[in-house]
Amino acid sequence: METLKADVANGELKRVYRKQKGSFLRKGLIFAFASGISYGLFSAFLTVGEASGVWNDFWALPIAGTIIGYLLLCAIGSSLNDLISGIWCLVIAAMKGKMRDFLPALKSKPGLMIVVGGLCGGPIASTCYIVGLMMAGGIAAAVTALCTAVGAILSRILFKQKLNARMILGIFICFFAAVVLGGTTLGDVDAKSTIGMCIAFIAAIAWGVEGCIAGYGTIMVDYEIAITIRQLTSGFANLIVLVPVLCIIANATVNMSGVEGSTYLFFVGGALFSTALIWFVISAFFANPAYSLWYKGNSMCGTALGMVCNSMYAFWCPFFMMVLCGWIFGWEGYTLTPVQWLMALVEVFGIWVIAMNPLDVFRKKEA
Amino acid sequence: MKKPLNFAVLKYMTTVEIACVDDVMEALKDEYADWKMFKPAGILEVLMTGEKNGLLVEDHYAYNDKGELMIYYRAHEEGREIINSYIK
């Protein structure tokens, strides 16, 4: 009788234990999925912001037709987005009583790793991503989803993580999808879209590096503090280093007609005091969970599963751009062809194969 | 300047053989009791995240005096080295 009671008690204990573990994993999965949706929303609002108010005047200037001018405008858009996102992060962290962690975390080794990750993912990746978006549209987001593949390879090199035949197969599926995506865009539009996708691939590499370095730091630093560090680092690095350097290069190399006074003040000041800023405030609001929930999801349900869920942004970006830019604003060029949609799906499938064995899903259900 | 709460939790784990949420709360309450994040659910999330990423391992689980589930974690040798190299 005593043994029976003990068995029942043990069974109940096991059930509570499994429930707690399951709830932790579910929470992680929800965070990771929500990060992908936020990513799509932030991309869509950013695209609207960079096509509203004073930005229309910027794009009409001769400088906007040059690569350096394009980069400059996109870097300004990126820095505004990240900096405002950093301010959102500070407000949210303060409301949650986490601000006491900010400076000590920033001065620590994991904090420094997040700063380095922010520099990689911010000035480099965000600028390339935005250039890709402007040149190739939402399909650029599908190309940047290759960051999971890059992350798997880098993890193998830096952290000696496994890279087996299944993962290599997934990488090939991703490359195949990316190649077909390039071909489709080339055939349907022009070479500009293909260049945009190549630039988006640089973003994929930089985000792969960021995922490795900053992701590890976030195991120890609270995710909302981590993202505050990341966004402020990225925003300031863009605004204080990248944008001035691009202004100097632009002044020396391209036709600056229409730009009055200081190039920096003309563009940055113009963007700050434009009605378009409201769109950046909204895009920055969604950029916060796009990154913070990515880190959090990865740390809670494992990098592989977290990244797979997050990489669904390859769907969410074109989806929300189609909804916001195409359906709501009625802008042309925001509808993807069936082949492009199909390849985006193939790419996501490839990423899924890299990150986990699809059969594991069924095995877990059986267990 | 106090360590961030997450750092303090992980660092504490390197000073004991095994510990559960109750142990961590008891050990850190003098320093962190007035922190908004200092709650059992938050501490458990730090421990579970540490376990998910290989810094800690689960030792066993049992009910505490209040009938709540407590999972006991242990920082293994490699985990201790990693935590101590990142958190001074």
Q: What is the mean pLDDT of chain A?
A: 81
Q: How many C-alpha atoms does A145 have within 13 Å on its Cβ side?
A: 39
Identify whether A195 is part of a domain.
yes
Average pLDDT score over residue span A336-345 = 75
The domain limits of chain B are 5-86
Residue that wins the pLDDT comparison between B39 and A166: B39
Which residues form the domain of A241?
Answer: 29-366
Burial of B58: CB neighbours in 10 Å, binned 0-12, 13-18, 19+: middle
pLDDT at A4 over 60: no
Q: Under CATH, which number does the domain B5-86 receive? A: 1.10.10.10
pLDDT in tens, A58-83: 999 999 988 789 889 988 998 899 99
pLDDT digits (tens, 9 = 90+) for A123-137: 888 778 777 877 777
Nearest CB to A220 within list B6, B45, B62: B6
Does a structural domain hold residue A4? no
Q: Which two tokens stand for residue A197?
A: 């996708």
Kindly state whether residue A213 falls inside one of the protein's structural domains: yes
Q: Is B5 in Cβ contact with A101 (below 8 Å)? A: yes
Residues of B in contact with A220 (CB under 8 A): 6-7, 10, 83, 86-87
Q: What pairing do the DSSP bridges indicate for beta strands B57-63 and B69-74?
A: antiparallel
A-chain CB neighbours of B5 within 8 Å are: 101, 222
- Closest by Cβ to B49, choosing from A20, A98, A300: A300
Structural domain contains residue A326: yes
From A98, A220, A300, residue closest to B37, measured CB to CB? A98
The contacts of residue A282 (CB under 8 Å, 6+ apart) are: A45, A49
Is residue A236 one of the residues assigned to a domain? yes
Q: Is A9 inside any structural domain?
A: no
Mean pLDDT to the nearest integer, A334-360: 72
Residue type at position A133: L
Based on DSSP, count helices (H) and strands (E) in chain B, helices before strands. Answer: 4, 2
- pTM across the whole model: 0.81
Give the distance from residue B33's alpha carbon to the nearest chain A alpha carbon, in angstroms. Answer: 13
What burial letters (b/e) apply to A164-178, b meaning 16+ CB within 10 Å?
eeebeebbebbeebb
Using a CB–CB cutoff of 8 Å, tell me whether B57 touches chain A. no
Contact at CB, A24 and B48, closer than 8 angstroms: yes
Counted domains in chain A: 1
CB contact under 8 Å between B4 and A101, yes or no, is yes
pLDDT beneath 70, residues of chain B: none
- B35 contacts chain A (CB < 8 A): yes
Whether residue A291 has pLDDT greater than 80: yes
Tell me, what's the ipTM? 0.89
Q: How confident is the model at residue A264 (pLDDT cuts 50, 70, 90)?
A: very high
Supply the pLDDT for residue A186: 46
Is A187's pLDDT higher than 90?
no
Give me the mean pLDDT over the A216-242 stretch: 89
